[in-house]
Amino acid sequence: MGRFFPLILSFLIFCGEATADTLVLNTGTRNPYTTEDRQGFLDLLVAETFRRAGLKAEVLVYKASKRALINANTGIDDGAAMRVKSLNKTYINLIRIPEKIIDNDFVGYTLGPTFMTPNWRSLDPYFVGHILGWKVFEGKLDHVKGKTTARGPEQLLELLKRGRVDVILYERWQGLWRGRQLGLDIKVLEPPLAKREMFLFLHKKHAAIVDKVTESLRAMKRDGAYQSIVNKTLMSLLNRGS
């Protein structure tokens, strides 16, 4: 065993060095933004943005969003991905990359006839469901015919599938992806009822690369690389039948 210990130690050091130069940005957001094969919107966007800046980066998905933010703020991870603009008011060690990565659209979905949703009052004649605790919907549904909450997206889609509600409220691309996975002919109601700009954040120890990463992201939007990722990972959902 004594002969092999130096070899084992060398192997462990080598493995550590192989990954030490890869920045880790965490998130709590899953399909289609992150996928197991790292081909989601956020996976590809983060990798390409940092590659152009001469860096390596990847997205780490946490089940607990709160834990992800704590780890980013304390510097255990290198930053956070796909978070609201004001995040660093609470998590003060994080620096926002000023160029947004996407707008999160919060929309209605139905399996029945579609209708326009120019404002929250357009939902008044319907039974509406949403995920418990999503503050974007709080106080907006006081006049609907009926409302119910779900513990998560699976239960939310099940309410719609069983006809327990007429409309469910969710984020555009996550709802569309989940509906397709269940084989539902889910329809998005337009326009979005709410929008939130989403950003990348880096821990303050990486302050020196903020400008470089920002310019990299802006360049991707100018030369079409950003839109190519959107088309591959998000817009493609619009062309998939149930």
Sites in the chain below the pLDDT cut of 70? 1-20, 240-242
Residue 176: predicted pLDDT: 96
- Partners of 109 in the β-ladder: 168, 188
Contact 210, 97 (CB under 8 A): yes
Q: How far apart are CA 128 and CA 146, in angstroms?
A: 6
Residue 19: predicted pLDDT: 53
For 175-205, the DSSP string reads: HHHHHHHTT---EEEEEEEEEEEEEEEEEGG
Q: Which residues contact 184 (CB under 8 A, 6 or more apart)?
A: 111, 157, 160, 161, 242
Per-residue pLDDT tens for 50-101?
999 999 999 999 999 999 999 999 999 999 999 999 999 999 999 999 999 9
Tokens 């302050």 locate to: 207
Domains of the chain: 22-103+196-239 (3.40.190.10), 104-195 (3.40.190.10)
Q: How far apart are CA 115 and CA 122, in angstroms?
A: 9
| Amino acid identity for residue 50 in this structure | F
Q: Between the CA of residue 124 and those of 23, 150, 168, what are the distances in Å?
A: 46, 19, 13
- Partners of 105 in the β-ladder: 195
Residue 240: predicted pLDDT: 55
